[in-house]
Structure 1
Amino acid sequence: MGSAWTQSFREELSVGKVKFSLSQPELLLQPQWSISPLAWLLYRLFMLLYTFIWCLYSALLFSSPKWLLFLSHIVYCSMAMYYLLALCNLVWAAIQVRNFYRNAAANQNEGSRVRGGSVGPFPLPPLLSAALRLQWCLHNLVSSFSVTVTLLYWMLVYPIEKHPLSTFNINMHVGNSVQALLDLVLSSTPIHLAHYVHLFLAACLYILFLLLYWLSGGTSLSRKPYIYKVLDFGRWPLVAAFSVIGFICIGLPLGHFLLLVPLKV
């Protein structure tokens, strides 16, 4: 057991795992359970509509572009983008596969070069291949960031800022992780430890944005010089620095690892 885990850990951290290699593109399109194609399509459609409606409600609720300063809102909007892309890719691939095999069957009937009733693997169009890689990237980012947002919000932000426990608040900071875990359980999309590299880069970009926003004199929705109290770079620079380090080196890796463990057990 120990040697198997060690070997698996080494494989997960290999350079090849960092890339979004489409050796098995069907994993990004199909569920990992015996779910009918129609049910899978309806699931993708429902999750897209559900998430989009909450994003629209969030935008109307705050009535300011500053609502996108919060990481939880950015992640949830990214989740809507993921569901939209996953649905489009699913429909696109289904149409491409049907047309491909229909044309192959017609060629067989006409005595073309296809022999023995086999048409070989479905040739993935370059644009669809790129869209699937983007879907995979969004899936990993959204899943890990959702769990991390939930953990950090209830451990650090909520005890300090005491936001009201509204339906909106619970959906953004609990429902986000439920949706991410549900998609992880139902879909066949692989997650690797090495994908933390992408999470690290995304986290650094967000922190850099917050820092530049603060330096330029930007304020929050309540006109305060910080987005989160723990990231008040002007008043508590050490607290902000340690919060950033904890977020990138502890919170985000923990959220990513919690997603990965059930897949490897």
Structure 2
Amino acid sequence: MLSKWKNKFTSQEFGLTHKDPEIFVICQWQHKNTPSIWYLLYRWLVVIYFITTWLLSILIVKTKTDSYQLKWLIYLTHWGYTTCTFQALLAAFMLTSCVLAHKKKPYKPSKDGAFTCYKLYWAFNTIATVLACVITIVYWSFIYNPAKNPLDVMNFILHGMNTVLMLFDFWLVSHPTRIAHCIYPMMFVTVYAIFSVIYYLAGGTSRDGTDYIYPILKWELPFRTLLVCAGVGIFIFALQTFFFLMYLLKKRVHKKLGRRKSIELNSSSPRCDGYVNEAVIAGDEV
């Protein structure tokens, strides 16, 4: 058992290479092994939602002063929401390209340009999923103040619906979840922490005029703030582990439902034309 968990932290596990890139454009629960039009419709609806709400978060502000609008850029919430939007665009682009490519006969997955960005999508999807949960939990637990932050629609969209949509998406996608990929949201949050230090040293202020962006990120108290950052890092690792366990659960549920036929990865039989569903193979993986 221990050796299996150690294998989750090999150099290969930290990487973003997958032997079957088609897994990134297939819905976990669809019947056929070819790209689904219904899944494509879902993908573009998600893109429209994220882009619309992302733009509204910039345009709908309490005041129209330039400095207030520019400070949209300093908040981790907006960094995270931008990541959600970007990964949604990548997913829709890949699936659209794959659907169009499938109309060409014969279809050759190795020649499909749709999969050139699957590694970028995988990384940003991991970041967006974990970061959405971090933002939602931390915001409502430690930052939300009814006196300063009214519970309006936009507040809920940025700090609640982000997690709802990313969790829903998590149960739809077929690509695997790796514990070692916690390194990517950790790197993202580290970049933000470095930015917040530089912003503080440069005399930057929040939209409320405070010399800190968030109450839990006061760099005038460096030791306490570093402990907060370390705690967020540990929390990210715990969340990624949780998502890995949910991924195993999703595989088992899919296997019991028997939605699609698959082949074993170690089988000597030739690879079928199209997608091999990883969620119904190696069901006892730990």
Question: Above 0.5 in TM-score?
Answer: yes
Distance change (3 Å), C-alpha of 1:10 and 1:158: same
User: Corresponding residue for 2:60?
Assistant: 61
Segments of 5+ residues of structure 1 without an aligned counterpart are: 105-118
CA distance in 1 between partners of 2:145 and 2:73 (Å): 22
User: Corresponding residue for 1:111?
Assistant: none
CA distance in 1 between partners of 2:160 and 2:172 (Å): 19
CA distance in 2 between partners of 1:153 and 1:79 (Å): 17
User: Corresponding residue for 1:44?
Assistant: 43
**SS at the partner of 1:231?**
coil
Distance change (3 Å), C-alpha of 1:23 and 1:161: farther
**SS at the partner of 2:54?**
helix
Q: Does residue 1:21 correspond to 2:17, yes or no?
A: yes
User: Corresponding residue for 1:259?
Assistant: 243
Query: How far 1:161 sits from its partner (Å)?
Result: 7.4
Distance change (3 Å), C-alpha of 1:91 and 1:18: same
Structure having the higher Rg: 1
Query: How far 1:21 sits from its partner (Å)?
Result: 0.7
User: Corresponding residue for 2:100?
Assistant: 95
Residues 128 and 166 in structure 2, CA contact (< 8 A), matched pair in contact too: yes
User: Corresponding residue for 1:173?
Assistant: 159
Residues 152 and 251 in structure 1, CA contact (< 8 A), matched pair in contact too: no
**Larger displacement relative to structure 2 (164-173 or 152-161):** 152-161
Counterpart AA for 1:257: T
How many equivalent residue pairs? 240
Residues 94 and 115 in structure 2, CA contact (< 8 A), matched pair in contact too: no
Counterpart AA for 1:123: S
Distance change (3 Å), C-alpha of 1:152 and 1:161: farther
Q: Please tell me the root mean square deviation across aligned C-alpha atoms, in Å.
A: 2.0
User: Corresponding residue for 2:81?
Assistant: 76
Query: How far 1:257 sits from its partner (Å)?
Result: 2.2
Q: Does residue 1:198 correspond to 2:184, yes or no?
A: yes
Segments of 5+ residues of structure 2 without an aligned counterpart are: 250-286
Query: How far 1:170 sits from its partner (Å)?
Result: 1.5
TM-score by length of 1: 0.84
CA distance in 1 between partners of 2:73 and 2:31 (Å): 35
Query: How far 1:162 sits from its partner (Å)?
Result: 5.6
User: Corresponding residue for 1:151?
Assistant: 137
User: Corresponding residue for 2:261?
Assistant: none
Residues 22 and 109 in structure 2, CA contact (< 8 A), matched pair in contact too: no
User: Corresponding residue for 1:140?
Assistant: 126
**SS at the partner of 2:18?**
coil
Q: Does residue 1:123 correspond to 2:110, yes or no?
A: yes
CA distance in 1 between partners of 2:224 and 2:131 (Å): 22
**SS at the partner of 1:225?**
coil
Query: How far 1:8 sits from its partner (Å)?
Result: 4.0
Distance change (3 Å), C-alpha of 1:150 and 1:254: farther
Runs of 4+ more than 6 Å apart: none
**SS at the partner of 2:212?**
coil
Counterpart AA for 1:68: L
What's the CA shift string for 1:160-192, capped at 9, x where partnerless?
976222121112111111111111001112110
**SS at the partner of 1:226?**
coil
Counterpart AA for 1:24: D
Give the structure with the larger helix fraction: 1
What's the CA shift string for 1:44-71, capped at 9, x where partnerless?
0111111111111100123512112111
Query: How far 1:241 sits from its partner (Å)?
Result: 2.0
